[in-house]
Structure 1
Amino acid sequence: MAAPRYSIIIPVYNRPQEVDELLASLVLQTVKDFEVIVVEDGSTLRCDSVVDLYRDKFSIHYFFKPNSGPGPSRNFGYAQARGEYFIVFDSDCIIPPGYLASVERSLQENGWDAWGGPDRAHENFTPVQRAMGYTMASVLTTGGIRGGKQQATRFQPRSFNMGISRNVFTQTGGFKLDRFAEDIEFSIRMRTMGFKVGLIPEAFVYHKRRTTFRQFYHQVSNFGKGRIQIGRVHPGAVKPAHWFPALFLLGSGALLVLPFISLALFGIAVGFFVVYLLAIFIDSLRQGKDLTVAFLSVPAALLQLWGYGIGFLKEKFRNHTPR
């Protein structure tokens, strides 16, 4: 059997329903030259019965392994892949029918060694999911794809939507970190080794992220921890902009004591927060045309910044012993 053009790797942990939705979306791809590799990372709620439903739809392979985290699970999938290019999706993604066609066009035009694409909120997602999707992509916060095409030369692919060539995997060995910004570390290492890494704006996915604000808080807190861990591996990777959530967190805390120091400063600080959160509300409403999502975008943005800032500061000042 001839090797496929693309190998799609899906690591999963206790999410069979999400895998079902993802696989159903892959059936609709206009480009059919691909295989799918599902890597079950020690789940107690397995998805092998879901995978069986798609064995007559496309080439699909299922592997169960002990729990090790997303980084090693993707590397396990890479090692099984037969394709020329490897693509990893998070299990909570839905893939538009033209995804692979967009990738193929961009590979022909640009010759990427590795690439990534943005994420969007599907119209069928809940208002909370759409609000979280907005904050993770908004330039008013710290999330998502910053700047679009004009920043493609310094774009860092994220693992919810990342592709690499077989040669990149052979040369790099794949992911080095188990979790917490393991994709950013991998992206930095690929560029450092001289690979051509790019953004394909048209190769977007619908990304559910988390279903509750509580889950979202824990997710972004881990992102903050991960940024510090990346800085330990790649000195200089923590830029001034990455301190913004921590400073926002400290500024939020200062509101509790400013009235006892200076009412004038308290008024200025409150005015800044009101204007900032109003800008988020207006921008979300402008983009999504949904009043409920716009309202929910405000607490989502606060949780994103506070959660990231707390994780960032906790990891920064944690007693760290180098491995």
Structure 2
Amino acid sequence: MDEEGASVVITIKNEAKNIQKLLDSLFNNDYEHFEVVVVDDMSNDGTEGIVKKYDKVKYIRTRCSRGEGRNIGAMNSSFENILFTDGDAIVSNGWIGGMVSVLNNGFEIAIGKTVYTGKKRYIQDRVKIYFNGIEITAPSVNLAYKKRAFFSLGGFDKRFVTAEDIDLNLRAAMSGFKFGFCNECVVYAKVRDSFISFLKQAFWNGYGRAQLEEKHPGMLKKTDIRLGHNFYDFMHMSAGAAGYLLYKLR
């Protein structure tokens, strides 16, 4: 298996407004030995036509959850280093090479630095979760795995609505895989751009956390929990709690 090549896997749905910026940022990277695999969950907004303008992109159109789409992308990847990001993100120059460098220096998982952009009121601090001193809440918008480690873990759990990245990272930490960090590997991720979408995201994040707790009872140690101190913090926390309770009461 090629240890220098990288497969960038992206799962998308209706990202016509954003996907071109992401693909341009990837192909403007100064790393040459990589491919892009896009798994499209049946977009109907013109996303397909935009992606197909890029000859070097493997495009797969199929109905799937986020985790399932990433698994499909990984299964259709050519290289040992699998890098994950999202359709509404933009990667920094050097991101691909930096993540590959971490993976080729004794680590099975690479975590980059994620910078959130957009309306400041919708940017919320993540609640961090640790297992044996390892932060497992590193988001899949800026995450990479050695292919052999990824498939030995069974990939993402397709049942998860959200938090599928936390679940995978937890299983990796429990299995003893090594996590490496790259502060220079920056991905710019967009926050929600409306109050309704902000609340929906918080709701489903709470739902995913309930799924996570059910799958791994007693395994999670929560730290760095920040209490809300303004209206948006309070609404974010309330919507998340509603999603959590819905899953518990289903």
Smaller-chain TM-score range?
Answer: 0.7 to 0.9
2:83 to 87, 90, 93: 87
Q: Which residue of 2 aligns with 1:236?
A: 218
Whether the 8 Å contact between 2:3 and 2:104 is mirrored in structure 1 is no
2:209 to 227, 242, 262: 227
1:117 to 112, 118, 121: 112
Deviations 1:273-322 (A, max 9, x none): xxx73xxxxxxxxxxxxxxxxxxxx4432232222222223333x14xxx
Q: Tell me the distance in 2 between the aligned counterparts of 1:240 and 1:121.
A: 22
Structure 1 residue 24: Cα displacement: 1.2
Deviations 1:66-124 (A, max 9, x none): x2210111100001000111111111111111212322443344x210122232134xx
Matched residue type, 2:194:
T
- Structure with the larger helix share: 1
Q: Tell me the distance in 1 between the aligned counterparts of 2:100 and 2:107.
A: 10
Matched residue type, 2:5:
R
Q: Which residue of 2 aligns with 1:300?
A: 232
Inter-CA distance 145–241: structure 2 relative to 1 (3 Å threshold): closer
Whether the 8 Å contact between 2:38 and 2:58 is mirrored in structure 1 is yes
Matched residue type, 2:157:
K
Structure 1 residue 145: Cα displacement: 6.2
Inter-CA distance 170–108: structure 2 relative to 1 (3 Å threshold): closer
For the aligned residue pairs, the C-alpha RMSD in angstroms reads 2.7
Structure 2: gaps (5+ residues) = none
SS at match of 2:162: coil
SS at match of 1:200: strand
Whether the 8 Å contact between 1:7 and 1:87 is mirrored in structure 2 is yes
Which sits farther off after the overlay, 228-237 or 40-49? 40-49
Give structure 1 regions of 4+ aligned residues with deviation exceeding 6 angstroms.
Answer: 144-147
Deviations 1:10-52 (A, max 9, x none): 1111112211110011122111211001111122224232123
Q: Tell me the distance in 1 between the aligned counterparts of 2:240 and 2:107.
A: 31
Q: Tell me the distance in 2 between the aligned counterparts of 1:117 and 1:164.
A: 12
Q: Tell me the distance in 2 between the aligned counterparts of 1:72 and 1:37.
A: 14
Structure 1 residue 152: Cα displacement: 10
Q: Which residue of 1 aligns with 2:175?
A: 193
How many pairs are equivalent? 247
Q: Tell me the distance in 1 between the aligned counterparts of 2:134 and 2:188.
A: 23
Inter-CA distance 306–199: structure 2 relative to 1 (3 Å threshold): farther
Whether the 8 Å contact between 1:227 and 1:238 is mirrored in structure 2 is no
Inter-CA distance 300–118: structure 2 relative to 1 (3 Å threshold): farther
- Structure with the larger strand share: 2
Q: Which residue of 1 aligns with 2:41?
A: 41
2:98 to 99, 102, 111: 102
Q: Which residue of 2 aligns with 1:263?
A: none
2:199 to 209, 213, 217: 217
Whether the 8 Å contact between 1:155 and 1:198 is mirrored in structure 2 is no
Aligned-residue sequence identity (percent) comes to 26
Q: Which has the larger radius of gyration?
A: 1
Q: Tell me the distance in 2 between the aligned counterparts of 1:112 and 1:144.
A: 25
2:57 to 49, 52, 60: 60
Once the two structures are superposed, the pairs formed by residues 114-263 of structure 1 within 5 Å of their partners are 114-122=109-117, 125=118, 128=119, 130-133=120-123, 135=124, 138=125, 143=126, 153-156=133-136, 157-178=138-159, 179-239=161-221
Matched residue type, 2:113:
P
Q: Which residue of 1 aligns with 2:25?
A: 25
Structure 1 residue 200: Cα displacement: 2.6
Higher RCO (CA < 8 A, seq sep 6+): 2
Whether the 8 Å contact between 2:99 and 2:144 is mirrored in structure 1 is no
